[in-house]
A and B are shown apart, each in its own frame.
Chain A
Amino acid sequence: MKAALSAGSMLRGTATTIAFALIVVPILIVVVAAFSPNDYFQFPPPGFSLRWFVEFFGLQTMRDAFVLSIELALASATIATILGTLAALFLARRHGAIAALLQSLFLAPLVFPTLILGVALLLLYKTIGMPVFPGLLLAHCIVGMPYGFRTVLASAQALDPALEEAGQSLGADPLRTLFLVTLPLIWPGVLSGWLFAFIVSFGELNTALFLTGPGVTTLPIEIFSYLQFTGSQLVIAAASSVQIALIVILVAVIERVVGIARITRAR
């Protein structure tokens, strides 16, 4: 029995090591490659250089895509979180079939094949003549809304309902109760929802694939096109590292502001 136990735990330990390696190595490789001094990536790297970052920021299309991605992520995360928060506050204390239906609707983009949403939106936009940027922004809002909705819903449901009633009992109307009581208390949920929506928007591919247009391209799509049409060059490693660096910073912010526990529970 002892032997079986230790065999089991050895199996688990080995599987875990292999799994983490498979998950992390491809990302590490990209970061290491970005600092290569050569035209091609060699392993182990013969030196260290920032030339590919210089080249990345020197490329107009890459720079524009980077800026657009940030703008898009800021705007869509903000809109998505506000709307997700409203939805969560509406549903936090409601039960029954309609509430369950609404909840599934707001969470659906999490599991829905977003590529199909991209196709459907492109078709709709073509029919109604939607300009590129607002169309892209709305798509990112749809994709980001579940994150704000979910984290705020959890926070709002954990809130003692008597707190909001206490606000009302002291004469605060619903709007004032929202701003003076509810929001200050669910703020960590709102903030982590916003950060998740930002991260998701910043890496979004499946709707942006269809909805970007000439001159209006996000960084992930720019990387994808570059890989497809120009080939695998190390400027892509630099672009990817910029993507990764921004996410590292955001995760650090989440950890500082709302704590690590909230991140690990959120997914």
Chain B
Amino acid sequence: MKSAWGWFLLAPPLVLALVFFVVPLVYLFWVSLHASSTSELYGAALTLRNYSDVLADSFYLTIVRRTLGVAAVILGLCLLIGYPVAYFVALLPVRRRMLAILLLLFPLMVSNVVRAYGWVSLLERRGVVNSTLRDLHLIDAPLDLLYTPSAVVIALMTILLPYMVISIANTLAALDRRYQEAAQALGASPLRTFLHVTLPLSTPGIASGTLLVFLLTLSAYVTITLLGGPRSKLLVSLIYDSVTAFQWPRAAALAFVLLALALAFTGLILALLRPGRVQGAGR
């Protein structure tokens, strides 16, 4: 009786998640292990060529390196800007803190294509930045700001920054003030209190913000394409290009290379920050 009810609840979402999430990924992996074919989606022969090609080809490696580089810069900036902002937000009185977080959340609800377009209209040759600089007579000819790796970095960084701020701010706001007070009562200066108490206790927020920003950077195809243009391609662009070229096994292998990067990074962050060790320090 009880288990019949349990299945009634579990079966529909489980079936959806299995059939349209797990199965397609397993299938994609299966396809990544096959040779390509001109007539079929994928060839009959099992092979690891798709992976070895990626790892051997300097073109792909350059792109992988560029992807990681861009992600690292974005992540660094997000942490550098995000932590003080989160600290500021966390110290606000409840009502204003909620307002600030709402202000950070709202942009996340707007489609990324709209936010990327906002940056395009700022950075393009006839965009706001160039026309303002020209009006101020600081430049004569418009600068080529768009279609550069820097454009990708600044746009993606600001698009993803709210995730970092909200993650850290929520952890900080939930921190029991008494930890800091205890440290100060023991004679720690504000700086040392921050370094030895606040910062370690906020690692869960740092970890989840870092993971969100990194994972979302990896698959931000639309932003990368609109701001990076054809010359600043990253790993996702290659996946998209392979799909549009009907190179399914190649696309699949690249997808799993990306997934492997994501997993490796997740493992690294969890091992480095060990957010679990201070979990539950909140109120």
Contact = CB atoms under 8 A, between A and B. Distances in A.
Given A18-B81, A119-B251, A106 B128 contact: no
Interface stretch (B46-54, B236-244, B271-279): B236-244
Contacts of A244: 110, 114
Contact of A87 (B9, B99, B248): B9
A237 B19 CA distance: 38
A113 B259 CA distance: 8
Interface string A251-264: 10000000011011
B221 A209 contact: yes
A77 interface: no
A33 B104 CA distance: 22
B13 A26 contact: no
Interface in B92-143: 98-99, 101-115, 117-122, 124, 126-128, 131-132
B158 interface: yes
Interface in B12-30: 12-14, 16-17, 20-25, 27-28
Contacts of B20: 121, 124, 138-139, 141-142
B62 interface: no
B87 A27 contact: no
A22 B133 CA distance: 18
Contact of A120 (B25, B82, B117, B189): B25
A163 interface: no
Contact of B212 (A111, A203, A264): A111
B17 A145 contact: yes
Contacts of B105: 263-264, 267
A105 interface: yes
B150 interface: no
Interface string B20-48: 11111101100100000000010000000
Chain B, interface residues (CB within 8 Å), range: 35 or more
B68 interface: no
B12 A224 contact: no
Contacts of A109: 21
Contacts of B205: none
Given A12-B88, A43-B132, A145-B16, A4 B190 contact: yes
A11 B132 CA distance: 27
A12 B109 contact: no
Nearest to A115: B219
B131 to A, nearest CB: 6
Nearest to B129: A43
A24 B126 CA distance: 21
B252 A123 contact: yes
A142 B17 contact: yes
A227 interface: yes
Contacts of A33: 121
Interface string B154-173: 11011001100110001000
Nearest to A223: B113
Nearest to B169: A264
B224 to A, nearest CB: 11
Interface in B51-82: 81-82
A133 interface: no
B222 interface: yes
Given A42-B131, A116-B219, A123-B27, A205 B111 contact: yes
A228 interface: yes
A265 B131 CA distance: 40
A89 interface: yes
Interface centre among B5, B13, B17, B170 (most CB of A within 10 A): B13
A26 B219 contact: no
A104 B259 CA distance: 17
B232 interface: no
A42 B126 CA distance: 9
A74 interface: no
Contact of B13 (A15, A23, A106, A261): A106
Nearest to A87: B13
Contacts of A115: 219, 221, 236, 239-240
B21 A108 contact: yes
A206 B259 CA distance: 15
B14 A123 contact: no
13 contacts: A41-B128, A86-B13, A115-B240, A117-B25, A119-B28, A119-B239, A149-B13, A220-B113, A224-B113, A227-B113, A237-B117, A247-B109, A264-B101
Interface of A: 1, 4-5, 8-9, 11-13, 15-16, 18-20, 22-27, 29-30, 33, 40-43, 82-84, 86-87, 89-90, 102, 105-106, 108-109, 111-117, 119-124, 126-127, 138-139, 141-142, 145, 149, 174, 199, 202-206, 209-210, 219-221, 223-224, 227-228, 232, 236-237, 240, 243-244, 247-248, 250-251, 260-261, 263-265, 267
